[in-house]
Structure 1
């Protein structure tokens, strides 16, 4: 099995984030008007954070070398975690229960 490059992993994560933004938009459409404005503002803020993270991730990918692979990986994971944490607030999946 061929391993993925950082670029492939980053592209997949960005696609996942875009789907998350669409999910927030769908939630906002169904929300009462009192909540809709807040949801749209939060979505816009999150979209800006994703755009900034995307730029940082692209730059990290371009700067990655054999010498700094581990450091680059750690920075990428930190960015992934920050955005994922913010997006998870809007995840409407049912938690796993025993």
Structure 2
């Protein structure tokens, strides 16, 4: 499995989590919906930014910087995963 495959899988997981939040927001009261909509917007922006960063890291990964790239990828994964805490159970991602 390549970094690209892992990044695609993780991005799909985040998008699925975002969809679940959108479904939850649609069923919520107006006040809760407003809070969830703001959270969804923030997460969507964070996911877009993280995806761009991850693609850049993958494109520039070499034999000489593999460990550094892996650490950066894991840091980005963790930063987005922590935003989903409280909305769904998360298990830390391991490369």
TM-score by length of 2: 0.91
Structure 1 residues without counterparts, runs of 5 or longer? 94-98
Mapped pair 1:25 → 2:29: no
Structure 2 residues without counterparts, runs of 5 or longer? 91-95
TM-score by length of 1: 0.88
Higher RCO (C-alpha 8 Å, min separation 6)? 1
Please tell me whether Structure 1 or Structure 2 has the larger radius of gyration of its CA atoms. Answer: 1
Q: Point out 4+ residue stretches in structure 1 off by more than 4 angstroms.
A: none
Per-residue Cα deviation, 1:18-75 (whole angstroms, up to 9, x for no partner): 0000000011011111110110011001100000000000000000000000000000
RMSD: 1.3
**Count of matched residue pairs:** 90
